[in-house]
């Protein structure tokens, strides 16, 4: 009986340690050089899972779930702010929603860690674990519309493997992060081979950063990004919405620039119900000053679908040219469309939500007219659309026009003073790395920023301030290997590794 109690106590201690490691990993992602620091912590996770001797797949799955839950609850707690503080949902129900979503995200971590128990520990273990993690993260980004937020890839913007992104995308960064953490565990057994492998891989990744797939095009052009800092509850009131419309209308047409951008739903009103002079004045300003304007609004569909008559829309006004329209394609579950059977959940909000219509996946880019220069073509994304790297790469690859710039307009006011804005900024940095293109981020409360083609922040505004960012930006042309091939190479390689691992372990049927 004493031995059984000791065993149970040991298991409970190990599970608590796993939760702590998950929390630590999420915290490390938020600090400088976090991508470097996550690697040794992951190594400790693998050591603990091996030490626990989890021969049962059920126990291994539970261990991975606990580790993942600790990670995602720490990383996604800001959803509580949107549900409770902004939406007025009951505190218990809000906490439950965060835990359930985090537990669902953790299932993919659990599936990936099963390889430690399912496959025998051998020379292939690091590769098999890395391949399992890649496939699990790919599924997390696609099942139920996908939510690939806070993977280990975006932390590599501040880590050793960010340079892998133009070649193999974020999933490639994940593969080498997991493999390196496993090799670090082998240093005590085979110090020379393990250490040499790690050093060579990091040096090789560093060398890749000197090879560029995109090149500058034309001269730098002037950019003006507007950050209004309006709270969601303020905009829910008619007088608040009108004040926000007046603010953005004034600042869009105040001083000229080659490109002026306002955030998602800068005009939180259906376009056909906006004050009649609003869009006309903005178009006249664009014509008179040779400025290009881009801003968010609520679109009214000419032929409403069965889903809804409105859309989350970006409108672009160009000098003496037809208006550009982009309707958001990848909608947020519960925020922009209601999954079947969840109307009861939406009714617990005190926030007006609706079912938006989806835009096409491959919409035309925003063509920015420049005086005496070739036009600049920009891919526009709204809200969290820029977290889906493969979708963005597909849009660039399939575009009939050469893409030179990425623009994301978003509104993260729903999540208050949390790490959510910084998390999305890192995702935008990863998208610039993957595509080799500069990015513009125009947000309501922050982080409004300008990114270079290497993902580096060239300029940004402080959060929760009403301010304008004025800066010149250089456009780029060309396609990275990731844009040309997408996730196909890393997914194919990962599948081949798993198939070979199955064959070696005599599980191949």
Lowest mean pLDDT, pick from 47-51, 233-237, 320-324? 233-237
For the question of residue 328 being annotated catalytic, the response is yes
Q: Which of 137, 154, 383, 391 is catalytic?
A: 383
Active-site residue identified among 137, 154, 224, 264: 264
137 noted as active-site residue? no
Give phi and psi for 227, each to the nearest 5.
-120, 110
Residues 25 and 112 grouped into a single domain: yes
Residues 168, 275 within the same domain: no
> How much is the pTM?
0.91
The CATH number of residue 367's host domain is: 3.60.110.10
Same domain (yes/no): 140, 92 = yes
Both 199 and 173 in one domain: the answer is: yes
Q: Are 158 and 177 in contact (CB under 8 A)?
A: no
The string of DSSP letters for 202-262 reads: HHHHHHHTT--S-EEEEEEEEEEEEE----HHHHTSHHHHHHHHHHHHHHHTTS--SEEE-
Residue 371 has what pLDDT?
Answer: 82
Instruction: Tell me the sheet residues that pair with 449.
Output: 441, 460
Residue 173 annotated to the active site: no
Q: Is residue 1 part of a domain?
A: no
Task: Answer whether residue 264 shows pLDDT above 70.
Answer: yes
What is the average pLDDT score of the chain? 87
- The one catalytic residue among 154, 328, 434, 479: 328
| Domain total of the chain | 2
Res. 352 pLDDT band, cuts 50 70 90: low
pLDDT for the residue 278: 85
Task: Please tell me the predicted confidence (pLDDT) of residue 1.
Answer: 47
Domain residue limits at 238: 217-479
Q: At what angle do helices 34-51 and 91-118 cross, to 10 degrees?
A: 70
Is position 7 within any domain? no
Q: What is the pLDDT of residue 508?
A: 46
The reported pLDDT for the residue numbered 329 is: 86
pLDDT at 293 over 80: yes
Residues 181 and 252 reside in one and the same domain: no
Q: Which of 45-49, 72-76, 337-341, 392-396 has the lowest mean pLDDT?
A: 337-341
Lowest-confidence pick of 112-121, 200-209, 426-435, 489-498? 112-121
């Amino acid at each position: 009986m004493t031995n059984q109690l000791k065993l149970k106590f040991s298991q409970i201690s190990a599970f608590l340690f796993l939760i702590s490691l998950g929390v630590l990993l999420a915290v490390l992602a938020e600090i400088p050089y976090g991508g470097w620091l996550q690697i040794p912590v992951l190594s400790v996770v693998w050591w603990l899972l091996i030490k626990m001797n989890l021969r049962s797949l059920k126990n291994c799955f539970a261990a991975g779930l606990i580790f993942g839950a600790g990670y995602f609850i720490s990383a996604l707690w800001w959803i509580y702010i949107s549900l409770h503080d902004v939406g007025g949902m009951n505190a218990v129900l809000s906490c439950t929603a965060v835990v359930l979503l985090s537990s669902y995200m953790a299932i993919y971590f659990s599936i990936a860690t099963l390889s430690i128990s399912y496959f025998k520990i051998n020379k292939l273990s690091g590769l098999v674990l890395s391949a399992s993690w890649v496939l699990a993260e790919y599924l997390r980004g696609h099942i139920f519309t996908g939510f690939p937020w806070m993977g280990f890839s975006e932390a590599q913007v501040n880590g050793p493997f960010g340079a892998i992104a133009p070649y193999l995308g974020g999933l490639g960064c994940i593969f080498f992060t997991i493999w390196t953490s496993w090799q670090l565990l082998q240093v005590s057994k085979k110090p020379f081979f393990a250490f040499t492998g790690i050093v060579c891989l990091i040096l090789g990744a560093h060398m890749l950063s000197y090879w560029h797939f995109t090149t500058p095009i034309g001269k730098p052009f002037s950019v003006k990004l507007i950050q209004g800092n309006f709270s969601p509850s303020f905009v829910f009131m008619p007088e608040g919405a009108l004040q926000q419309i007046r603010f953005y209308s004034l600042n869009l047409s105040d001083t000229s620039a080659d490109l002026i951008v306002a955030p998602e739903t800068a005009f939180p009103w259906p376009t056909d119900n906006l004050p009649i002079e609003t869009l006309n004045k903005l178009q006249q300003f664009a014509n008179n000053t040779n400025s290009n304007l881009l801003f968010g609004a609520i679109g009214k569909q000419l032929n409403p679908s069965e889903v809804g008559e409105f859309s989350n829309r970006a409108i672009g006004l160009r000098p003496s040219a037809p208006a550009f329209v982009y309707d958001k394609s990848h909608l947020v579950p519960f925020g922009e469309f209601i999954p079947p059977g969840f109307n009861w959940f939406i009714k617990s909000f005190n926030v007006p939500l609706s079912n938006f219509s989806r835009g096409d996946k491959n919409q035309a880019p925003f063509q920015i007219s420049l005086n005496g220069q070739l036009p600049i073509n920009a891919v526009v994304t709204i809200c969290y659309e820029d977290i889906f790297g493969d979708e963005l790469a597909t849009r660039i690859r399939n575009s009939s026009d050469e893409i030179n710039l990425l623009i994301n307009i978003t509104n993260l006011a729903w999540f208050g003073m949390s790490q959510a804005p910084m998390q999305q900024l890192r995702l935008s940095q990863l998208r610039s790395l993957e595509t080799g293109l500069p990015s513009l981020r125009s947000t309501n409360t922050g982080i409004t920023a300008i990114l270079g083609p290497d993902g580096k922040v060239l300029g940004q505004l402080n959060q929760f301030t009403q301010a304008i960012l004025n800066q010149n930006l250089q456009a780029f042309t060309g396609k990275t290997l990731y844009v040309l091939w997408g996730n196909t190479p890393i997914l194919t390689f990962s599948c081949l590794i798993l198939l070979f691992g199955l064959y070696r372990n005599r599980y191949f049927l």
